Structure 1
Amino acid sequence: MPDRLPIAAILAFGITQIIGYGTLYYSFSILAPDMAADFGWSKDRIFGLFSASLLIGGLVAPFIGRAMDRHGAGRIMALGSALSALSLLATALSTSDLSFIVSVVVMQVVAAMVLYQAAFATLVELSPLTANRSITYLTLIAGFASTIFWPVTSRLHEIWTWREVYYGFAAANALLCLPLHILVMRWQRTAATGIERSDENRRVVGRVPQHQQMGSFIIMAAGFSLQGFALSAMLVHMVPMLTALGLGATAVTVGALFGPSQVFSRFINMVFGTGLAPVLLAVVSSGFIFAAILLLLLAGTWVPGALSFVLLLGLGSGISSIVQGSLPLYLFGSDGYGALTGKLSAIRLTAGAASPFAFSLLMERAGLDVALFVTALLAAAGVVAFGMLRHHR
């Protein structure tokens, strides 16, 4: 297997990540109000279902991680694309509360088979020694998911019902993501021919000694959980929240700056941050997220403040996506990477799954300022956790 991945493989993953995140995650908040109206639900209930789906997806993540180590992450991603298309189609076809609930839950469960967790594991399998750089390249491309799919979903929803939008998204997963994942899987199998998997020169050895690994993992998981709660709340409610602040029709345009900001932070990291340890990057990313939420809390309806919030949040999210793949590899090495990141995803998503519902409930019952204040405190705690990890290591 070559020491450097072909650019075609990274581009293929970039396309599938854009479509995966756009169709399975970012589109939900825009389509949710019409989903709720269609089934006679409240907004709290629809976002409660989304939170529960993220929670269940997180609980399943360790099993998916072990399956990736056992059967190959590329194979799991190909299967996940087919299941993603079927789950989107099933959601669009649902006619009862039960069928809708089951379809949305399945959609978030199979998301773990195609999104960053699976993609990072595949990159580590393909070339462990260059995985950190490949992860940076991948997140650089995938950062356009929100920039593309928030406006695209809004535009499609002007002419289509939410069900018809999901029909189109199901087709995108089946006709684009599935063939690309199959191609990468076949390339992986061909490239692996004749390579000894036990070759010590191809392993990445973690920095944390064996006796400190449990403590380091707990601190790392706490940091990602706190950060994930804050970031998930902001992302899911980005457009509705900016609209509530008085931006009106421009809320989608302002929110779309989140994607370029993510890409910019990853580009800067790629050019200037290659020598920075992932632990330091984790502190920086959490700091940006905390600063973004605090700024929005202080800025209120001030439009430049909303713009700055989106840009800072994008900077923090962009670096965080890199850290989610590089920090476990840096601390614990490449052996058992899929299972390790599966456990980490389970903890992070379990803690963060309640955020869309909790933030929506706080916003409706106590007001936007209280919801932002509580979220800012949790983001600050994430900064502290990653700071503790630096000293612990």
Structure 2
Amino acid sequence: MSRDESLGVWLLAIGQTAGFAALVYMFGAIILSLEDGSGWSRAELALGPTVALVTQAVLAPFSGRLVDQGFGGTLLGGAAVLGGLCLALLSQVEALWLWYALWIVIGVAQAASLYETCFSFLTRRLGPEARRGIIRVTLVAGFASTFAFPLGAWTGAALGWRGAILVFAAVELLVTLPANLLGVRLMRRGARRGGLMVATPRGAVRAVLRKPEFWALAGFFGLLMGNHMMLTTFALPILAERGATAAVAVLVASTVGPMQVAGRVLLMLGGARIQAGTAARAIAIGMSLASLALLIATGQSGLFLLYAVCQGASIGVQSILRPLLTAETLGQENFGAMSGALAMAPLTASAAAPFLGALLIGAGGVTLLLSVTLVFALGAFGLALWLRARGI
């Protein structure tokens, strides 16, 4: 990897950090001020990020194919503009239908600018060296929630939910956009090592869909992301109900980010000694322990810390594991289209999570939601055991 490419990777990492903070974590970070000031119910509000993530899931295969055809840089830059403008408009909405409409467009920005597009772009540019680039991006982007939750708590209290969303719009336009544009420019100074840019061959994705390993991976990552997005979206009300003060709740939610980085560092230090299948089983166990810790918590700081460590480290490893395990299990040919198709499962689960979480809390309280997240994590562990029997 050349010096320009290395710098480009770090800039894309900054872009992913700010992009996730503004487009994904923003809602959970300001949910309390939203509920207090908007006049809409938790379920009505949560349907917004749900439709965004549904849109992202539907468009993921198409963004992957566009990356394969050489439009990755255009997507990363254009989507940052689109996302920032939509957030600015979102801060001014008065009608619920417009809230939903803008979240749909935000979903387009998510599909075109977040991990799947970035990782596919790095794979196309760097080829076999993409692993190092992907790990660097995820190490930095793990701090997205650490950045988003304190910023959301402070701006929500000081400026109200409208002012808070405007601040996140500024983050998207003033940080994500220039970081992505300059990062892409520097990456393109190096020779492309990921193969020719061609349209995805007819039937290529269909062939992958016939493999049972594809569906096992889809279910595994889908269950983990459904678990994580429910816990992330409602982290503040969950922790408050479990006995945490407002300050402790923000601190715990913010700690998940550094723990993501810690998990990724441990995976890097382990190197080839840690097999992908072993890591998959370990993170499913870790996320099961995280849900269990919150399920039995009644204000104990130790259990809150256990949740942050286990959830953060596990989901951090998951984000590295997904592209690497996909390439190792299904191959690198047509990687953009293939990873886009696989991403539909975790993206769909992520999409359903905010609205499903709101319904679960309404039906049976936080206890019911945490019971479901525990079942999701245990289901993922079961799939990891099945993959082990297949030699993965």
Task: State TM-score, norm by structure 1.
Answer: 0.90
Residue 46 of structure 1: how far off its partner (Å): 1.0
2:267 to 249, 269, 286: 269
Residue 78 of structure 1: how far off its partner (Å): 1.2
SS of match in other structure, 2:384: helix
Check whether the contact 2:260–2:315 (CA below 8 A) recurs between aligned residues.
Answer: yes
Aligned to 2:305: 307
Check whether the contact 2:134–2:320 (CA below 8 A) recurs between aligned residues.
Answer: yes
Question: Judging changes above 3 Å, is the alpha-carbon distance between structure 1 residues 18 and 5 closer, same or farther for their aligned structure 2 residues?
Answer: same
Check whether the contact 1:4–1:127 (CA below 8 A) recurs between aligned residues.
Answer: no
Measure the CA separation in 2 of the matches of 1:360 and 1:96: 20
Residue 212 of structure 1: how far off its partner (Å): 9.7
In structure 1, give the amino acid aligned to 2:321. V
SS of match in other structure, 1:192: coil
Q: Does 1:351 align with 2:369?
A: no
CA RMSD of aligned residues (A): 2.3
Aligned to 2:128: 129
Task: State TM-score, norm by structure 2.
Answer: 0.90
In structure 2, give the amino acid aligned to 1:57. Q
Measure the CA separation in 2 of the matches of 1:45 and 1:153: 20
Question: Judging changes above 3 Å, is the alpha-carbon distance between structure 1 residues 344 and 176 closer, same or farther for their aligned structure 2 residues?
Answer: same
After TM superposition, the structure 1 = structure 2 runs for residues 97-108 of structure 1, keeping only pairs within 5 Å, are 97-108=96-107
Residue 301 of structure 1: how far off its partner (Å): 3.0
Residue 156 of structure 1: how far off its partner (Å): 1.6
Check whether the contact 2:37–2:161 (CA below 8 A) recurs between aligned residues.
Answer: no
SS of match in other structure, 2:333: coil
Query: Any idea what the Cα deviations from partners look like across 1:124-169, whole Å, max 9, x if unmatched?
Result: 1121212222212211111111111101111122221222222222
In structure 2, give the amino acid aligned to 1:296. L
Check whether the contact 1:3–1:130 (CA below 8 A) recurs between aligned residues.
Answer: no
Residue 229 of structure 1: how far off its partner (Å): 0.9
Measure the CA separation in 2 of the matches of 1:22 and 1:196: 29
Q: Does 1:71 align with 2:70?
A: yes
Aligned to 2:164: 165
Check whether the contact 2:12–2:184 (CA below 8 A) recurs between aligned residues.
Answer: no
Residue 3 of structure 1: how far off its partner (Å): 7.4
2:249 to 231, 238, 251: 251
Aligned to 2:292: 294
1:384 to 373, 382, 385: 382
Residue 176 of structure 1: how far off its partner (Å): 2.3
Measure the CA separation in 2 of the matches of 1:241 and 1:74: 38
Aligned to 1:117: 116
Question: Judging changes above 3 Å, is the alpha-carbon distance between structure 1 residues 378 and 301 closer, same or farther for their aligned structure 2 residues?
Answer: same
Residue 121 of structure 1: how far off its partner (Å): 0.9
Check whether the contact 1:258–1:314 (CA below 8 A) recurs between aligned residues.
Answer: yes
Measure the CA separation in 1 of the matches of 2:119 and 2:150: 27
Can you give the 5+ residue segments of structure 2 that lack an aligned partner in the other structure?
198-206
In structure 2, give the amino acid aligned to 1:103. L
Can you give the 5+ residue segments of structure 1 that lack an aligned partner in the other structure?
200-209
Q: Would you identify which runs of 4 or more consecutive aligned residues in structure 1 move more than 6 Å?
A: 210-213
Residue 36 of structure 1: how far off its partner (Å): 4.6
SS of match in other structure, 2:195: coil
Aligned to 1:321: 319
Query: Any idea what the Cα deviations from partners look like across 1:75-128, whole Å, max 9, x if unmatched?
Result: 211111111111111212323222221111211231121111111112111212
Check whether the contact 2:259–2:316 (CA below 8 A) recurs between aligned residues.
Answer: yes
Measure the CA separation in 1 of the matches of 2:240 and 2:275: 38
* The 10-residue stretch of structure 1 (184-193 or 290-299) with the greater mean CA deviation from structure 2: 184-193
Residue 294 of structure 1: how far off its partner (Å): 1.5
2:279 to 274, 278, 281: 281
Aligned-residue sequence identity (percent) comes to 27
In structure 1, give the amino acid aligned to 2:372. V
Residue 190 of structure 1: how far off its partner (Å): 2.9
Q: Does 1:223 align with 2:220?
A: yes
Query: Any idea what the Cα deviations from partners look like across 1:185-227, whole Å, max 9, x if unmatched?
Result: 223333237x79359xxxxxxxxxx899611101110111111
Query: Any idea what the Cα deviations from partners look like across 1:234-267, whole Å, max 9, x if unmatched?
Result: 1111122101111122210122111111111111
Check whether the contact 2:79–2:108 (CA below 8 A) recurs between aligned residues.
Answer: no
Q: Does 1:43 align with 2:54?
A: no
In structure 2, give the amino acid aligned to 1:174. L
Query: Any idea what the Cα deviations from partners look like across 1:353-390, whole Å, max 9, x if unmatched?
Result: 22222222222321222221222111101111122123
Measure the CA separation in 1 of the matches of 2:47 and 2:339: 26
Measure the CA separation in 1 of the matches of 2:15 and 2:266: 23
Check whether the contact 1:33–1:43 (CA below 8 A) recurs between aligned residues.
Answer: no
Measure the CA separation in 2 of the matches of 1:62 and 1:211: 13
What is the number of residues matched between the two proteins? Answer: 381
* The 10-residue stretch of structure 1 (288-297 or 362-371) with the greater mean CA deviation from structure 2: 362-371
Measure the CA separation in 2 of the matches of 1:294 and 1:311: 13
Measure the CA separation in 2 of the matches of 1:211 and 1:20: 30
Aligned to 2:200: none
